Amino acid sequence: MEWVNAIVQGILLGGLYALFAAGLSLIFGVMRLVNVAHGDLIVMAAFLALVVTQTLGIHPLATLVIVIPVMAGIGYALQRGILNRTLGDDILPPLLVTFGLSVILQNGLLEIFSADNQKMNAGAIEIMSIPVADKINVGVMPLIVFGVAIAVIAGLQWVFYRTALGRAFRATSDNQSIAQLMGLNNKHIFGLAMALALVVVALAGVFLGVRTSFDPSVGPGRLIFGFEAVIIGGLGNLWGTLIGGIILGVSQNIGAQINPGWQLLAGHISFLVVLAFRPRGLFPRIEG
């Protein structure tokens, strides 16, 4: 029965990982950019939420009202100020710049907040759970996170395929020059894409901060989880990313059941296995 419980918890964990991955996938889809600082931005959002709850005394989830617009603004400024300059045929500049950004963010957060573990208290809903079967409880918080992940992915799909903005994203990512001929300003479109991605990052950060503890150094780990979810699920497929996150979460939990020290390793091994036999992922839609 513990195994079934491990799997159930793993599925719910997959929702959080899908949240980590969705922003990454969005940016790669629109501008073929992989933001190495993605995980650190998630952590930054968590710290931002922490500061807001501590100064305003509001519930962590309520901080989203502030964290989301702030992160969106940061995303737009970051893209237009720095990242737009790195886009082009050479893969080195965006990689190296975002890597530099990652180091700067981690150490900046370290300077400001110290290396202490932090966690936000969401009150009663953190301990509430729904008994589903004998010895299987579904935590309300993880369920909410899973639900948010589904809502986010559905929302992003809606934006991409049913709105003018989404049309602009797809057109610009297809062919920058011709998109410009339609009157679309690439720099602005990419800025909006990054802003949207950081909205998702804001959600990921706040829910990370409520679900587990965090400190300035956990960024790269979140990046890797997001990345693994994307690769397992298949490039260019947001719902695939959800499946990828679930597979990752389940692998980790099964590994932890066997031996607590094997949790992370089990996840990585799952990823490597998929990479070995299905290099393009389980449900790929675009080329990497």
Partner 1 sequence: MKPCGRFIWALKPMSDAPLLETRNLISWYGDFQALFGIDFHVMPGEVVAVIGANGAGKSTLINSIAGLLPNEAGSVRHAGQNIGDWPAHKIAYLGITIVPEGRQLFPSLSTEENLIIGGQTARPGPWNLAAVYDLFPVLAERRHQASTSLSGGQQQMVAIGRALMSNPDIILFDEISLGLAPIIINDIYAALPRIIGEGMSAVIVEQDISRALRVSDRACCLQEGRVSLEGISAELSRDAVNQAYFGI
Partner 2 sequence: MSVQENYRFVQTTRASRVAGLVGVVILIALIAAPWWAGRGDMRLLSEIFLYLSLAALWNLLAGYAGLVSVGQQAFVGLGGYGLFALAMFFGVHPLLAVPLVALIAAVVALPVAVLIFRLSGAYFAIGTWVIAEVFRLGFAQVTSLGGGSGTSLPIGIVKSIAASRSMRESVSYWMALGMIVLVLAVVYFWLRSRHGFPLTAIRDNELAAKSLGVDIWRTKFQVYVLTAGLTASVGALIFLQKLRISPDAAFSVNDWTAYVIFIVVIGGIGTIEGPIIGTLVFFLLRGFFADLGTAYLIILGLVAIVVILKSPTGIWGWISRKYDIALFPLARRVIRVNPSNENRNAS
List 25, 35, 63, 173, residue binding partner 1 (CB under 8 A) = 173
| Residue 180: contacted member of partner 2, partner 1, none (CB under 5 to 8 Å, by partner type) | partner 1
At 132 the three-state DSSP class reads: strand
Q: How far apart are CA 194 and CA 280, in angstroms?
A: 24
Q: How far apart are CA 279 and CA 287, in angstroms?
A: 11
Show the beta-strand stretches assigned E in 82-135.
129-133
Angle (deg, nearest 10), helices 2-31 and 186-211: 160
| Residue 123: contacted member of partner 1, partner 2, none (CB under 5 to 8 Å, by partner type) | none
Q: Cβ 134 to partner 2, closest distance in Å? A: 33
If we measure between CA atoms, which residue out of 173, 209, 275, 224 comes closest to residue 24? 224
Nearer CB in complex with partner 2: 9/102:
102
List 1, 92, 124, 181, residue binding partner 1 (CB under 8 A) = 181
Q: How far apart are CA 236 and CA 277, in angstroms?
A: 19
Residue 37 φ/ψ, nearest 5 degrees: -90, 5
* Residues contacting 185, CB < 8 A, separation 6+: none
Question: In this structure, which amino acid lies at residue 122?
Answer: A
Q: Cβ 243 to partner 2, closest distance in Å? A: 18
Q: Cβ 118 to partner 2, closest distance in Å? A: 17
Would you count residue 179 as binding partner 1 (CB under 8 A)?
A: yes
Q: How far apart are CA 9 and CA 19, in angstroms?
A: 16
| Residue 168: contacted member of partner 1, partner 2, none (CB under 5 to 8 Å, by partner type) | partner 1
| Residue 185: contacted member of partner 1, partner 2, none (CB under 5 to 8 Å, by partner type) | partner 1
Would you count residue 110 as binding partner 1 (CB under 8 A)?
A: no
Would you count residue 174 as binding partner 1 (CB under 8 A)?
A: yes
Quote the DSSP letter at residue 36: T
Q: How far apart are CA 284 and CA 238, in angstroms?
A: 10
Q: Cβ 236 to partner 2, closest distance in Å? A: 12
- Beta-carbon count within 10 A of 138 CB: 18
| Residue 69: contacted member of partner 2, partner 1, none (CB under 5 to 8 Å, by partner type) | none
- Are 267 and 248 spatial neighbours (Cβ–Cβ below 8 Å)? yes
- Beta-carbon count within 10 A of 272 CB: 12
Q: Count the residues of the shown chain that bind partner 1, applying the rule CB under 8 A.
A: 18
Binding site for partner 2 (CB under 8 A): 33-34, 36, 82, 85-86, 90-97, 99-101, 103-104, 107-108, 110-111, 220, 223-224, 227-228, 231, 261-262, 264-265, 268-269, 271-272, 275-276, 279, 288
| Residue 269: contacted member of partner 2, partner 1, none (CB under 5 to 8 Å, by partner type) | partner 2
Q: Which stretch binds partner 1 (CB under 8 A): 98-106, 122-130, 138-146, 160-168?
A: 160-168
Write out the residues near partner 1 by the rule CB under 8 A: 164, 167-168, 170-171, 173-175, 177-186
